[in-house]
């Protein structure tokens, strides 16, 4: 069964450092998403991406965040200067099209900012 894969599974970084979280969506999917889950809290939408541009973003997705599809398979989330409050589980998801009702989620990357 096709799946969304994320790397690394766990990343520890120092406050102020840049991090890049990587995702490989399902190969024929066209819409990509990032979500965040702070420990013990709900899963929150960050951003959706289609045709090499952001289609929608939440208020959480401020200027320190960026997304990119650098090649035909990877989808990345960059946090430019990490803060302690960026510590969370980050999930990548993809869908075949904008009306496809099922998003396939990756296993997540746990980011710990120290």
31 interacts with other proteins by CB under 8 A = yes
Phi/psi region, residue 4 (left: phi>0; alpha: psi -120 to 50; beta: rest), is beta
33 interacts with other proteins by CB under 8 A = yes
Outline where DSSP puts E strands in 25-106. 31-37, 43-50, 53-57, 65-68, 75-79, 88-95, 104-105
What track of x and - describes contact with other proteins for positions 49 through 78 (by CB under 8 A)?
------xx----------------------
Q: Which C-beta is closer to other proteins: that of 7 or that of 17?
A: 7
Tokens found for residue 90? 């980050």
82 interacts with other proteins by CB under 8 A = no
13 interacts with other proteins by CB under 8 A = no
Alpha-carbon distance of 76 to 90, in angstroms, equals 11
41 interacts with other proteins by CB under 8 A = yes
For strand 65-68 and strand 88-95, is the pairing parallel, antiparallel, or unpaired?
unpaired
8 interacts with other proteins by CB under 8 A = no
Contacts with other proteins, residue ranges (CB under 8 A): 31-33, 35, 41-45, 48, 55-56, 89, 91, 93-95, 97-108
């Amino acid at each position: 069964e096709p799946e969304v894969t994320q790397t690394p599974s766990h990343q520890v970084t120092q406050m102020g450092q840049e991090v890049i979280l990587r995702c490989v969506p399902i190969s024929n999917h066209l819409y990509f998403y990032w979500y965040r889950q702070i420990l013990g809290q709900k899963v929150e939408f960050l951003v959706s991406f289609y045709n090499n541009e952001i289609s929608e973003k939440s208020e959480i997705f401020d200027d320190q965040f960026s997304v990119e599809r650098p090649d035909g398979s990877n989808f990345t989330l960059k946090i430019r200067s990490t803060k302690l409050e960026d510590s969370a589980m980050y999930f990548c998801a993809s869908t075949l099209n904008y009306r496809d009702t099922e998003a396939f989620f990756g296993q997540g990357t746990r980011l710990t900012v120290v």
